Structure 1
Amino acid sequence: MEIPSKIGKYKILKKLGEGASGCVVKAEQEVIQRIVALKILFSSLLEEKPLIIKRFHREARLASALVHPNIVPIFEIDECNKMHYYTMQYIEGIPMIDYIKSNSIPIETRVDIFIELCDALALAHSRTIIHRDMKPHNVIITKEMHPVILDFGIAKSLIEEEQMTQVGHILGSAHYMAPEQAGPGNVGTYTDIFAVGVMLYEMMTGQRPFQGNNVKDLIMKRIQYAQKPDLLRPPSMKEINHEIPETLDSIVFRCLEANPKNRYQTAGDLLKALQQFRSEFCLTQTLDSEQNPSSLSVAVNKKASYFYPCLLSILLFILMISFSFWVYYGKQEFLSKAKGLQDIGSNKIQEVVKKITKK
């Protein structure tokens, strides 16, 4: 699809990405000089699939109803020269799929990202909205290390009576798809939980729990997983990364249960589990550091680094005063004053030692 240099009141700056039904571009709203992102629907699909426009409008409507710092805000939806688009806030950051490749991120930071992600998804679930396509490609990590959900392209309202998914048509991304999406079964908030579990597994280990040669193979394996979960269960995260606590491993594998009834039922439930793990993990780290001899050595060295400069300063002070007395009063008078100086110096040193040992 060829993108014009201008769409309505927006000057197109560059293409950011492209999917099956449209593309996203960076643009400037010239009147107020605001940088935004435009999601544009491919015009070639409009005649082939009449439901596309309806679904596109629904996506914008559902996303705009969710006001949350971890969900990209939608500004408006419009049409220009038969080109349908909606505008949203432009988010600076990197896609989570690229962020996952970094091995230098602490476990607690990764968990914090998913706590925020689940908090955003919990809002959607509380409004009876399921995403149905949660994946790292749809999440941006900002410079401040906050995740932002960008795409609600195939989101569904559980209270909408209108059926917009064609019979036999699979919606979702194969790597993150729950068994009930791949085969017979009803989707629900627990469907998003499965996808988030796959994302969390991938974030912690650098690899996906379910492998396949192609999309068809992945879908077939997901259907088989629903039938024989024990035989096709992925390896534990701890087998791949020994630093991962067993508690976190258990949380993720509850998300990945083949039977939807055995998973966390909503993002709010998963959020509570991750928050509890985060608190316990933080406490464990604190206790370990207090019991670690190397930490104690660092503390002692730190106190010593304060002590010796202070002691040297006091000794120099006493030496200068002593010399001044010697010059001014002479030898006999100096000896009579020396005991007083000794007491002052001793008291000063004791004060410094007390202050340092308290730190």
Structure 2
Amino acid sequence: MKLAGRYRLETPLGQGGMAEVWRAYDERVGRAVAVKILHAYVHPNERARFFQEAKALSRLSHRGVVQVYDLGEEEGKTYFVMELVEGGSFDRLGPFEDGPEGLRLLEAALEVLDALEHLHRRGVIHRDLTPRNILLTTEGNPKVMDFGLAYLLQESRHLTRTGYTLGTPQYMAPEQAKGLPLGPQADLYSFGAVLYRTLTGKPPFEGENDQSVLYQHVYEEPKPPETLNPAIPAGASRMVLHLLAKNAQARPTRAAQARGGLAETLRSYRESLSATPRAGAARSGAYPSGPAQPQSLEVAGRFDLGGEVAWPSEIVAWEGRLWVGAGRGVAQLNLIEERIHHLPLGDEMTAPPTLYGGKLYAAAWDGKLGVFSLTGRPIWSYQSRAEVTAAPLVLGSWVYLAGRDGFLYALDENGSLRWAMQAEGHLSASPTLYRGLLFAASEDGWLYALDPQTGHLRYKVEAGAVHAAMPAQGGVLLIPTWAGEVHAFDPLGREVLWSYDTEGEVWGSPVMDTERAYVAGWGGVLYALDLKNGDEVWSLEVGKATAGLSLAQGHVYCATEEGRVMAIEAATGQVTFEASGLGPIQAPPLPYRGQLFVATLAGQLYRFAEM
């Protein structure tokens, strides 16, 4: 079927009570489009609303709003033609995962709020924001669509009073559920419910029928999002609850105000990823900031850390300061003052430090975890039963500590033990939180999947001895075994998707992006592997690698025992920067705020900047 001699209808995309939507091809301009066709039997009032939708959309021009191309009637068919958006609904960005996936979700939320501000400034209230009405492009950019219930503040309002139930109960504002007049805050409430669903995987309220759900929207408070998903940042959780305030006046007054708050949350969250070993609880190793042009990097500073920086140490950063375990303490570099400060510990610093909530968490060889203010004042400590070589994982009020006694300890914010799980071998690697599960791998070859709140074992699988942190992204948990085999594991399906043998011991953590996994080891080769099937995309001779890899701005950063540091273009495997002669390096390079920081085994910290 062809409309207007140019729109060739190809595949039905869906239908509702008013209209059906088709994928079509515009033969005149040569592009795929979506065509919405009104059912012939609809009531005249509904037909008027259909024209209202087209009219509302046609006057909007924003990258976050689906664009209308054409409106027409032919042989009794009323239709309009709009932009085709094929990336799925907004909630497929969730649930929230700590790392690059979480960044993409929060960035997309900012774009939706920007689009809502555009709508509201032009007198349009959407009134039916749901995950299905915010579609994603194939690049992951959100587009607000389906304005069938749009409320035009500057025009006749009788079209909205037809006696029909308007809106979707799971995402409906309390004032909308009660039939009261609506303002922009109703859309903000609905988007708060969409965000809640996307972040946690569940809507804020569920019930046996629509009336039950609407009652909860009006009278009951939602559970804090972080109680359903501990990976959610506190700032994002607070913003969602602010949007879900029962009283419209208690919500942000405009989408721009909500956007400003979320932008600050995003800024703080981006910074927090650099403050956590392996860039967050998902341990992807992908950092949010780094040199834009690594080929122009040159040494801009060198600092004596006062002690060795030995495997498995890592550099972390927060608000212009760097921390790294060196010898029998933690060395801190203030980038403005360019001075080193030392925090002494009772024994060798054998685990990467972690920064969270304005506190420094540092574990030493004697098994003691110390928690300090950023000025070095002791806050509390916990004494485990054996050596610790794994970075503590901190999530909200929970602290997870893996020890070489085989115990994974869960502590509260005051250092009291909540639960402990005993593995069958030493725990040398930091735990990973992904898909709502806490993963710990032991040196005797077992992978444990635990409930992060109770410590109950969900399942365990035999994978091989693991010494390095396990990165996760895109539904895949990467298991780097000490023997050199790397397994791509589906944590929900509980199956190995593929395996690859690097033919050399793997001490340092691999890194991942949306398409590939990158791994290097004692065999001297850096491999880029297709995340879907494990095929080798490219490989590069780099030298013996004990340090983990880092990823930022499309570049993989690799450091070796021979004293080489390289920036390698992730897409091609081409070396764009190299420095040598630094001495053995066992800590991953840290890309941070447009610079690169490298700590050597001998305790020298190099700062590379773009010149």
What TM-score do the two structures reach when normalised by structure 1?
0.77
Distance in 2 (CA, whole Å) between partners of 1:66 and 1:133 is: 17
Match in the other structure for 2:76: 82
Letter in 2 for 1:194: Y
Residue 198 in structure 1 maps to residue 193 in structure 2: yes
Residue 285 in structure 1 maps to residue 279 in structure 2: no
Letter in 2 for 1:214: N
The alpha carbon displacement at 1:272 in A equals 0.8
- Say which SS state the counterpart of residue 73 (structure 2) adopts: strand
The alpha carbon displacement at 1:103 in A equals 5.9
Residue 93 in structure 1 maps to residue 87 in structure 2: yes
104, 107, 113: which one aligns with 1:118: 113
Distance in 2 (CA, whole Å) between partners of 1:307 and 1:33 is: 51
Letter in 2 for 1:198: A
Go from structure 1 to structure 2 and tell me whether the alpha carbon gap of 1:246 and 1:292 turns closer, same or farther (over 3 Å shift): farther
242, 246, 250: which one aligns with 1:258: 246
Are the counterparts in 1 of residues 169 and 210 from structure 2 also a CA contact under 8 Å?
A: yes
1:52-76 superposed Cα distances (whole Å, 9 cap, x missing partner): 1111111111111110111111011
- Any residues of structure 2 matched to 1:1-12 within 5 Å, and which? 5-9=1-5, 10-12=7-9
Match in the other structure for 1:329: none
1:231-258 superposed Cα distances (whole Å, 9 cap, x missing partner): x211111111112222211111010011
Are the counterparts in 2 of residues 12 and 27 from structure 1 also a CA contact under 8 Å?
A: yes
The alpha carbon displacement at 1:196 in A equals 0.4
Are the counterparts in 2 of residues 170 and 182 from structure 1 also a CA contact under 8 Å?
A: no
Deviates more, 1:123-132 or 1:211-220: 211-220
Distance in 2 (CA, whole Å) between partners of 1:22 and 1:305 is: 66
Paired residue total: 304
Residue 22 in structure 1 maps to residue 19 in structure 2: yes
The alpha carbon displacement at 1:217 in A equals 2.6
Match in the other structure for 1:228: none
1:100-156 superposed Cα distances (whole Å, 9 cap, x missing partner): 468686322211110011111110011121100111011222222211112111111
Larger fraction in helix? 1
Letter in 1 for 2:226: K
Match in the other structure for 2:234: 246
- Any unmatched runs of 5+ in structure 1? 226-231, 312-352
Deviates more, 1:57-66 or 1:5-14: 5-14
Are the counterparts in 1 of residues 91 and 194 from structure 2 also a CA contact under 8 Å?
A: no
Residue 271 in structure 1 maps to residue 265 in structure 2: no
Distance in 1 (CA, whole Å) between partners of 2:169 and 2:214 is: 6
Go from structure 1 to structure 2 and tell me whether the alpha carbon gap of 1:103 and 1:276 turns closer, same or farther (over 3 Å shift): closer
- Say which SS state the counterpart of residue 16 (structure 1) adopts: strand
1:12-46 superposed Cα distances (whole Å, 9 cap, x missing partner): 1001111221111011122333321101111121x
Distance in 2 (CA, whole Å) between partners of 1:195 and 1:144 is: 24
Are the counterparts in 1 of residues 93 and 105 from structure 2 also a CA contact under 8 Å?
A: no
Across the aligned residues of Structure 1 and Structure 2, the Cα RMSD in angstroms comes to 2.8
Q: Which has the larger radius of gyration?
A: 1
Match in the other structure for 2:489: none
Are the counterparts in 2 of residues 38 and 87 from structure 1 also a CA contact under 8 Å?
A: yes
19, 38, 43: which one aligns with 1:41: 38
The alpha carbon displacement at 1:285 in A equals 2.5
- Any residues of structure 2 matched to 1:170-319 within 5 Å, and which? 170-223=165-218, 225=219, 232-288=220-276, 289-290=316-317, 291=323, 293=325, 298=548, 302=559, 304-307=561-564
- Say which SS state the counterpart of residue 94 (structure 1) adopts: coil
1:259-305 superposed Cα distances (whole Å, 9 cap, x missing partner): 11101122111111111111122223324433365669659982644
Distance in 1 (CA, whole Å) between partners of 2:274 and 2:34 is: 43
Distance in 2 (CA, whole Å) between partners of 1:292 and 1:17 is: 55
Are the counterparts in 2 of residues 113 and 147 from structure 1 also a CA contact under 8 Å?
A: yes
Q: Which has the higher contact order (CA 8 A, sep 6+)?
A: 1
Distance in 1 (CA, whole Å) between partners of 2:51 and 2:559 is: 62
- Say which SS state the counterpart of residue 32 (structure 1) adopts: coil
Distance in 1 (CA, whole Å) between partners of 2:228 and 2:67 is: 37
- Any unmatched runs of 5+ in structure 2? 277-315, 318-322, 326-350, 354-546, 550-556, 566-578, 582-601
Go from structure 1 to structure 2 and tell me whether the alpha carbon gap of 1:271 and 1:262 turns closer, same or farther (over 3 Å shift): same
- Say which SS state the counterpart of residue 88 (structure 1) adopts: strand
